[in-house]
A = this chain, B = another copy of it.
Amino acid sequence: MVQFRYDSVFSLGEFGLKKASFEAQISKLPKFLELIRSRGQGFIDLPDDAAMVRGIEEYAAKVRGKFDHVVVLGIGGSALGVTCLMDALKHPYWNELPKQKRKQPQLFVLDNVDPAQMAQLDDILNYKKTLFVVITKSGTTPETMSQYYFYRAKMEKAAGSIIAKKHFVFVTDATRGVLRGIAEKDGIPCFTIPANVGGRFSVLSPVGLLPAALLGISVKALMAGARAQRAQFLDSRYVRNFSFQLATIQYLLQKERNISMTVMMPYATSLGSLADWYRQLLAESIGKAVTRDGKKVHVGLTPIKALGVTDQHSQVQLYNEGPRDKLTIFIEVESLFGKNLTIPSAKIASPEMAYLKGVTFQELMSVEKRATERALHEYGRPTATISIPKITEESLGELFMLLEGSIAFLGEYYNIDAYDQPGVELAKVYTKKMLLEDR
């Protein structure tokens, strides 16, 4: 089970929070839960959708063994969840593993329209053994649709126009959009993103789950973890509700101490992409110009990705000595794969390095995390720690739900719509306009 600790924010004097101001928020929890329920957001109910899980598992079973490469065409919320699942739960050198060791397909997530990347992916792909998973909620995302058109033409050239269709599967809205129309016309399998599930909240919909299932990740276990944590997120007793606790310290640190950045710093290389996923969740949900009442506010918390221990050698100088504008949330894993790997005493001849003798790398990671936490505290900087026993499907499900829940609470604290993204429309309009004018 995931744990959450943040006591130290109450022992920072003028730089931290007063216990009383935290306690003053607790009475808001039941009301917030009611409001959150009234928003009609589907991410809360996704883990109950047994029919969706069954459909995904059946499809994955049907295509098992047929493809050597799975290529996801998607951007933003259609890419970050699957990348996180792949990086967290599969071998760190998955795509480099020899086929006989992998036994499952390589996965490539094309979350950009960079021609260099697309042109050179051709040096890897055998089109006759490739499945394209095309993911766009609206069914009209220009980046994803461009890629789809490009690879559809490529596949028809490689496999013929009849066979080509068997190399695609779509994830999109139930009825709207261009992609749904193509699916119906061409008989391409098509999974549904529920209308009330936003892109950045869609990791536990077919958006994240379908590619995950194609790699042999257990969708059921992910959902079990999410359900367990959801019970806490919806619990009106604040001591059980980590999502509420996290949102409360983020909100108060910003309001009372002007701390406007949230650093997510996992001490596990494979959880780096969880921080990328969270970046979108926090930035797009809470970065808003107006409140629900139409008041201009320009609020937002800026998410920052950091990786322990790596970024101790890149970012921590700033976090310790720079402006007091950051809350650091560590993600700690109690038992990493390879935890018994040990620094061999016999190789250490120098007395200067003797302190490393016989230390396991797990221990080194853990000690460095605690040392960094302690230093930040002495510099008067707030930190919190989310810890999980191991990196598993269950823990990932828990983490997703804990963090999504915290965003829902932040939305209520700031009285903003955490589920829209009006600030990206303008650039979309200009893109279309410029492309038409360039013709």
Whether a CB of chain B sits under 8 angstroms from the CB of A13 is no
Interface string of A367-382 (1 = CB under 8 A from B): 1101110110011000
Q: Which residues of B contact A391 (CB under 8 A)?
A: 116
Q: How far is B312's CA from A77's CA once the two chains are assembled, in angstroms?
A: 11
Given that A96-B124, A321-B423, A423-B320 are contacting pairs, would A315 and B280 also be in contact in the complex, using a CB cutoff of 8 Å?
A: yes
Provided the pairs A298-B324, A304-B302, A353-B145 are in contact, do residues A314 and B427 lie with their beta carbons within 8 angstroms? no
Docked-complex contact A149 and B356, CB < 8 angstroms: yes
Q: Which residues of A288-336 are within 8 A (CB) of B?
A: 288-289, 298-300, 302, 304-305, 307, 309-310, 312-326, 336
Residue of B nearest to A348 (CB): B149
B119 touches A370 (CB 8 A): no
The one of B96, B153, B283, B299 in contact with A314, judged by C-beta atoms closer than 8 angstroms, is B283
Tell whether A312 pairs with B424 under 8 Å between CB atoms, given A115-B361, A321-B289, A436-B355: yes
Contact B113 A365 (CB under 8 A): yes
Would A284 and B115 be within 8 Å (CB), given that A93-B121, A146-B359, A424-B320 are in contact?
no
Interface string of A165-181 (1 = CB under 8 A from B): 00000000000001001
- In contact, B124 and A313 (Cβ under 8 angstroms): no
Q: Is the CB of A143 within 8 A of B309?
A: yes
CA distance A182 to B353 in the complex (A): 12
The residue from B116, B182, B307, B435 contacting A112, defined by CB atoms under 8 A apart: B307
Name the residue of chain B whose CB is nearest to the CB of A254: B323
Residues of B within 8 A of A368 (CB): 113, 427, 431
Contact of A38 with B by CB under 8 A: no
Q: Is A61 an interface residue (CB 8 A)?
A: no
Among A113, A152, A323, A367, the one with the most B-chain Cβ atoms within 10 Å of its Cβ is A113
> Of residues 101 to 139 in A, which have CB atoms within 8 Å of B's CB atoms?
101, 106, 108, 111-121, 123-124
Stretch of A208-216, A224-232, A338-346 with 4 or more beta carbons under 8 angstroms from chain B: A338-346
A360 contact set on B, CB distance < 8 A: 115
Contact between chains at A318 and B343 (CB < 8 Å): no
State whether the Cβ of A76 lies closer than 8 Å to any Cβ in chain B. Answer: yes
Q: Quick one: closest B residue to A143, CB to CB?
A: B309
Out of B142, B286, B361, B378, name the residue touching A356 (CB < 8 Å): B142
A12 close to B (CB within 8 Å): no
A123–B432 CB distance below 8 A:
no
Between-chain CB contacts (< 8 Å), 14 pairs: A76-B312, A95-B95, A113-B361, A113-B368, A118-B361, A119-B338, A181-B350, A284-B315, A287-B322, A317-B424, A321-B422, A355-B436, A371-B429, A375-B426
Other A-B pairs beyond A118-B361, A146-B361, A300-B321, 15, CB < 8 Å: A76-B313, A79-B310, A96-B96, A96-B106, A115-B360, A117-B269, A118-B338, A143-B364, A279-B315, A288-B321, A302-B318, A302-B326, A316-B427, A359-B438, A375-B426
- Closest 10 A-B residue pairs measured CB to CB? A76-B313, A300-B322, A287-B318, A119-B338, A115-B338, A287-B322, A371-B430, A321-B423, A280-B314, A320-B423
